[in-house]
Amino acid sequence: MALTMLRGPDRATLYDPPMDDAADRAERSARELARRSGTERHDVLVVLGTGLARTAELLGAGDDGLPLDTLPFFPPFSVDGHVALGWSVPLAGRQVLLYGGRCHLYEGHAPRDVVHPLRTAMAAGCTTVVLTAAAGGLRSDLGNGSVLVVEDHLNLTGCSPLDGPVFVDMTGAYDPGLQALALAAPDPARAAVARRPGVYAQVRGPQLETPAEIRMLGTLGADVVGMSMALETVAARQAGARVLGLAVVTNPAATHEAALDVAGIGAVGAAAAPAVAAIVRHVVGSSS
Ligand code: HPA
């Protein structure tokens, strides 16, 4: 057969790609969220990383959280330190949706499933997103419990929540105005906030990094390393939301000097909850 017979505009094809139903699924979850929470629209999403679920209580959430795993299409949040509850809380005239945890790529979930809870919040009306996450610190000023305001990220997962020609602009992905507000949080939270913002590198995990990988990440310009945030930021920027990233340093990144205290990560995160709550209160109260 001549090769030309295989080309041509009228050539029939059996290729039948699946429909991109991510937006449709998010709409359906958002409708159920509205029905179950009794709140039609939300303004701000706060995702609480490892150990940080108590932040919700400090922001006025009651005991009666909505079990997120009963919303359609929500993957389970099954890792220790992550709570599969959502709360709807009024704060400074805005309606804030809080998630007590998240799921991760390293649990075996597809990127589009990992960002489904975030897309649900976007479909529920959120135009501002605060992403918090535990991270290992590479910079010498980042002691345990310090909070790094994220100014940019390195997505080293090799994955994206976007499929197809969706060329989302990632310049200025972490909103400079929200960064400035976080840096200006009043004391005592201010004392926990690293004076200089920095770069969050997302790796897939779940294994932690080798000392050589940490040297590589430092060379690439990373200030902290974690296993979430970057993919969520991509999905949030696709939806046009303003993003604030807060990386809570739970351990020094791997070096040859000492083994990592993996078991201690959740407790260090939990101790940072008051500072994170105060930063969120300040940012939500001061931004329009
Ligand atoms: N590396 C990757 N992810 C993390 C770390 C770390 O050291 N600490 C908390 N999350």
Domains and CATH numbers, the chain: 2-286 (3.40.50.1580)
pLDDT, tens only, 242-260:
999 999 999 999 776 777 7
- Asked if 97 contacts 60 with a C-beta cutoff of 8 angstroms, the reply is no
pLDDT, tens only, 26-41:
999 999 999 999 999 9
Q: Which of 53-57, 62-66, 199-203 is least confident?
A: 62-66
User: Mean pLDDT over all residues of the chain?
Assistant: 92
| Ligand 1 centroid to residue 265 C-alpha, Å | 8
DSSP letter at 70 equals G
Say yes or no: CB of residue 136 within 6 Å of ligand 1.
yes
| Ligand 1 centroid to residue 197 C-alpha, Å | 18
List, in order, residues 6 or more apart from 33 with CB less than 8 Å away.
66, 71, 86, 97, 120, 124
pLDDT, tens only, 67-99:
999 999 999 998 888 889 999 999 999 999 999
* 17 — pLDDT class (breaks 50, 70, 90): low
Say yes or no: CB of residue 134 within 6 Å of ligand 1.
yes
List, in order, residues 6 or more apart from 62 with CB less than 8 Å away.
87
Q: Whose CA is nearest to atom 6 of ligand 1?
A: 136
